Amino acid sequence: MFPSQFVYALAGGVLIGSAAVLLLWLNGRIAGVSSMVINVMFSRERLWPALFLAGIVDGAALYYLVGGSAPVARDNFPVWLLAFAGVLVGVGTGMARGCTSGHGVCGLGQLSPRSLVATLTFLSVAIVTTYVVRHVFGVQG
Amino acid sequence: MKNVVTLLVGILFGFGLALSGMTHPEKVLGFLDIAGTWDASLLFVLGGAVGVTLCAFRLVRRLPKPVFGSQFFVTQAKQLDASLIVGSALFGVGWGISGYCPGPAIALFAAPNWELWVFVPAMLTGYAVQRIVKNKLRPNDTEADDSSVCG
């Protein structure tokens, strides 16, 4: 168990990074998922981000199809809490103009100071939040 | 050609995301939960991805333009403003509660369950609210309209 999940994580990370490089090299675009969602919702330039998002769904489906384990719903997770988290992810990545992919993968790859600050902020706040939710309030899926 | 490339690269991204374990919110929370039985493996996702982009973006940006496009759409923003920091913090709270960041949330459509129908509409509502508030406060700021928004 120990080595394989690290290998999957590293291999998956390399694929994600490679996809980000290919998108910039071939099409000149940044692989930032939150920006793509925003552009599909509000901009006139909807086609390419919609295609990329559809690709994400297809790629994940392909992995589950070839035998990769698909996520299972957490039936004991409070619905209102999940909805609250969803709103925060939308408002937050909209304000910060980037998420784990845009700031984390692409921004750090460009040594962007904005992205470094964003990544350190959301990662550290997420660690504290998970601690509070799991160990102070005792919410587990 | 450009559109075919976008779709194929998206598939590669989604496959990598699922392979890495990031589409499992419980695994993500196991990574963020350093006080529990910490699952350090997801550190290798960011490490692997940034390792590739750090090396290759540098080479790509030396080119005058992308293969199938007229220019690179990359933001030049440098300012460390309040909205970057507050936004990232709010995102961190949402991510730390749920285990979903936007990519894995979209990938839920590949294996739909009830969490998809709660989380994704809530996230889209969040984008809409943020947009409306921003347009009220700063009606002349069109920066976020360009598709280069990244960081």
Burial B110-122 (b: 16+ CB within 10 A, else e): bbeeebbebbbeb
Residue-range domain boundaries for chain B: 1-72, 79-151
Q: Which of A106, A101, A9 is nearest to B22 (CA)?
A: A9
Residue of A nearest to B63 (CA): A25
pLDDT in the model for residue A19: 98
Residue-range domain boundaries for chain A: 2-136
ipTM of the complex in this document: 0.96
Contacts of A47 (CB under 8 A, 6+ apart): B3
pLDDT in the model for residue B151: 38
Percent of chain B clearing pLDDT 90 (strictly above): 85
pLDDT in the model for residue A2: 55
**DSSP string for residues in B23-57:** T-HHHHHHHH-TTSS--GGGHHHHHHHHHHHHHHH
Spatial separation of the C-alpha atoms in residues A124 and B121, rounded to whole Å: 26
Spatial separation of the C-alpha atoms in residues A33 and A85, rounded to whole Å: 17
pLDDT digits (tens, 9 = 90+) for B100-133: 999 999 999 999 999 999 999 999 999 999 999 9
Contact at CB, B53 and A91, closer than 8 angstroms: no
pLDDT digits (tens, 9 = 90+) for B34-72: 998 899 999 999 999 999 999 999 999 999 999 999 999
pLDDT in the model for residue B88: 98
Instruction: Assess whether pLDDT exceeds 70 at residue B16.
Output: yes
Which residue type is seen at B16?
A: G
pLDDT digits (tens, 9 = 90+) for B70-91: 999 998 788 999 999 999 999 9
- The packing angle between helices A113-131 and B82-98, to 10°, is 40
CA of B140 vs chain A CAs: smallest distance (Å): 16
Mean pLDDT over A61-79 rounds to 96
A5: phi then psi, degrees, rounded to nearest 5: -70, -25
Q: Hey, how many other C-beta atoms are within 10 angstroms of the C-beta on B140? A: 6
Residue B103 φ/ψ region, left for φ over 0, alpha for ψ in the -120 to 50 degree band, beta for the rest: alpha
CA of A91 vs chain B CAs: smallest distance (Å): 5
**Cβ-contact A3, B36 below 8 angstroms:** no
Q: What is the pTM of this model?
A: 0.94
pLDDT digits (tens, 9 = 90+) for A71-103: 999 999 999 999 999 999 999 999 999 999 999
Percent of chain B clearing pLDDT 70 (strictly above): 93
Of B44, B96, B130, the CB nearest to A94: B130
pLDDT in the model for residue B36: 87
Of B3, B8, B102, the CB nearest to A47: B3
